[in-house]
Amino acid sequence: MKVVIVGGVAGGATAAARIRRLDESAEIIVFERSGYISYANCGLPYYIGDVITDSKELTLQTPESFNRRFGVQMKVHHEVTAIHPDRKTVSVKNLKTGEAFEESYDKLLLSPGAKPVQPRVPGVGMDKLFTLRTVEDTFRIKEYIRENNPKSVVLTGGGFIGIELAENLKELGMDVTIVQRPKQLMNPFDPEMAAFIQKEMGEHGVKLVLGETVEGFEEKNGGVDVLLKEAAPLHGDMVILAIGVAPDTILAKEAGMELGIKGSILVNDKMETSIPDIYAVGDAVQVKHYVTGEDALISLAGPANKQGRIAADNICGGDSRYSGSQGSSVIKIFDMTAATTGINEKTAKKAGLNIDKVILSPMSHAGYYPGGKTMTMKVLFEKETYRLLGAQIVGYEGVDKRIDVLATAIHAGMKATELKELDLAYAPPYSSAKDPVNIAGYMIDNISKGILKQWHLEDLEKLPKDGSVTLLDTRTEEEFNKGHVSGFINIPVDELRRRMNEIEMGKSVYVICQSGHRSYVATRILEGSGYEAYNFSGGFRFYDTVVNDAEFAQRATACGMDLI
Asked if 537 and 520 count as a contact pair (C-beta separation under 8 A), the reply is no
Q: How far apart are CA 522 and CA 525, in angstroms?
A: 5
Instruction: Give me the DSSP letters along 140-206.
Output: HHHHHHHHH--SEEEEE--SHHHHHHHHHHHHTT-EEEEEESSSSS-TTS-HHHHHHHHHHHHHTT-
Q: Exactly one of 42, 316, 513, 559 is catalytic; name it.
A: 42
Q: How far apart are CA 222 and CA 336, in angstroms?
A: 35
Asked if 237 and 153 count as a contact pair (C-beta separation under 8 A), the reply is yes
- Residue 359 zone, left/alpha/beta (φ > 0; ψ -120 to 50; rest): beta
202, amino acid identity: G
Q: How far apart are CA 67 and CA 74, in angstroms?
A: 7
Q: How far apart are CA 268 and CA 18, in angstroms?
A: 20
Checking DSSP bridges between strand 285-288 and strand 295-296, what pairing results, if any?
antiparallel
Asked if 435 and 419 count as a contact pair (C-beta separation under 8 A), the reply is no
* Strand ranges inside 402-554, DSSP E: 454-455, 470-473, 489-490, 509-512, 533-536
Q: Which residues, other chains included, contact 191 with Cβ-Cβ below 8 Å and sequence gap of 6+? A: 183, 184, 546, 552, 555, 556, 559, 561
Q: How far apart are CA 534 and CA 471, in angstroms?
A: 10
> What is the chain's percent helix, strand, coil content, to nearest 5?
35, 25, 40
Checking DSSP bridges between strand 238-241 and strand 152-156, what pairing results, if any?
parallel
Asked if 186 and 244 count as a contact pair (C-beta separation under 8 A), the reply is no
- Among 527, 537, 535, 513, which residue's Cα sits nearest to residue 381? 537
Q: Which residues, other chains included, contact 214 with Cβ-Cβ below 8 Å and sequence gap of 6+? A: 119, 121, 156, 179, 181, 226, 227, 228, 229
Three-state secondary-structure class, residue 302: helix
Burial level of 277, CB count in 10 A (0-12/13-18/19+)? middle
Q: Is 42 among the catalytic positions?
A: yes
Q: Which residues, other chains included, contact 172 with Cβ-Cβ below 8 Å and sequence gap of 6+? A: 49, 50, 145
Checking DSSP bridges between strand 207-210 and strand 214-220, what pairing results, if any?
unpaired
The helix (H) or strand (E) run that includes residue 119 is: none
The helix (H) or strand (E) run that includes residue 296 is: strand 295-296
CA dihedral 190, 193, 196, 198 (to 10 degrees): 0
Catalytic annotation, residues: 42
